[in-house]
Amino acid sequence: MITVTRPYFPERQNFDRYVDAIFERRWLTNHGPLEQELTKRLETYLGVKNLLLVSNGTLALQIAYRALGIARMPGLYEPAEVITTPFTFIATASSLKWEGMQPVFTDIDPATLCLDPANIDAAITPRTRAIAPVHVFGNACDVEAIDALGEARGLKVIYDGAHAFGATYRGRSLLSYGDASTLSFHATKLFHSIEGGAIIFKRKEDLERARKMINFGITGPECIEELGINAKMNEFQAAMGLCVLDEIEVNLESRALVWHAYAQALRGNVQLQTRRIGASLNYAYFPVILESESVLLDVMQRLEQEGFMARRYFCPSLESLAFLGRPAAEHQEEDFSTPRIFHSKDIASRILCLPLYAGLEVSEILAAVRIVVDRHVKAA
């Protein structure tokens, strides 16, 4: 079976070298030398400052929210609101809810698939504390418009950059926008540390506060300064991250071949995500948008019969999950059919990500393409 993705495994000898050093030092966690080395190397590679490694990408979001102080609403009993996209992985919104905040969903741009800034301003209420956009499939949000709106309305901006490792916008790291950006280093990601994540803060004081938080609030042998949690990255995670980073260019080159082979064969035959002008490609995903959900299900079935596992990202559109919250429809009862979420619901019903990982053969790519084009063109 050709899966939708496959974790990148670096050279075993390189990993063994890092692991041997761990055994020699007997330093397993608590800000070890490999975690420190990975922090410095990632800041250099990504072109960012104030990077904090954590144990997974969901905790990266939760720590970012707490470090920026957006959960607290002095004098109000209602939870703080955060405007976000319904077209994303569940953790973007569930991490807000877990931290006691209310996700408020506004619709996406149906071309870029990212949060549409035009919908944000009308959703702002006195309880709104932040905006949490997502760089979907590594495609840049309209960071200039969103950052300007956040500044004008006094709102924090936290980008979920789980897909955006290495991505740039107009020559600048995409992760350097907003008050913070988060990354996921899950095994399925372009860059991974088995599990893991990172936060990139705009301000060093926010980094220092978050650094205390991920170590239970402990700052010394007999000093606990504030409420914290355990979100530290351990040395084995850092070892894998260093190995994958050692081979990142090889990984990217192989993935680029796959991505461009798909693009050349499918462009003009199916709808593809519109890339933001000025944004780089990191070859993280290859989504196709089909004619209808029935066509999508037919394509998925045919692909599976031929040994290909494609996956629906992101279905369902999150505003349909009643336990999360509501669309931006202030003073209305919760109506999940609101036209304000039309595009996300529509795209979620008919988007499919095709297999993409280093080492995928051109013959395999073309076989998948033939199935997609055949079924899509017949349906059209």
Which residues are known to be catalytic?
189
Structure tokens of 11?
Answer: 């050279």
**Which tokens sit at 47?**
């072109």
Q: Are 112 and 276 in contact (CB under 8 A)?
A: yes
Angle CA 85–137–168, to nearest 5:
105
Q: Which two tokens stand for residue 127?
A: 């309880």
SS3 string, 200-269, reads EECCHHHHHHHHHHCECCEEECCEECCCCCECCCCHHHHHHHHHHHHCHHHHHHHHHHHHHHHHHHHECC
- Beta-carbon neighbour count of residue 367 at 10 Å? 15
Q: How far apart are CA 350 and CA 328, in angstroms?
A: 23
Residue 33 and residue 220: Cα distance in Å, rounded? 19
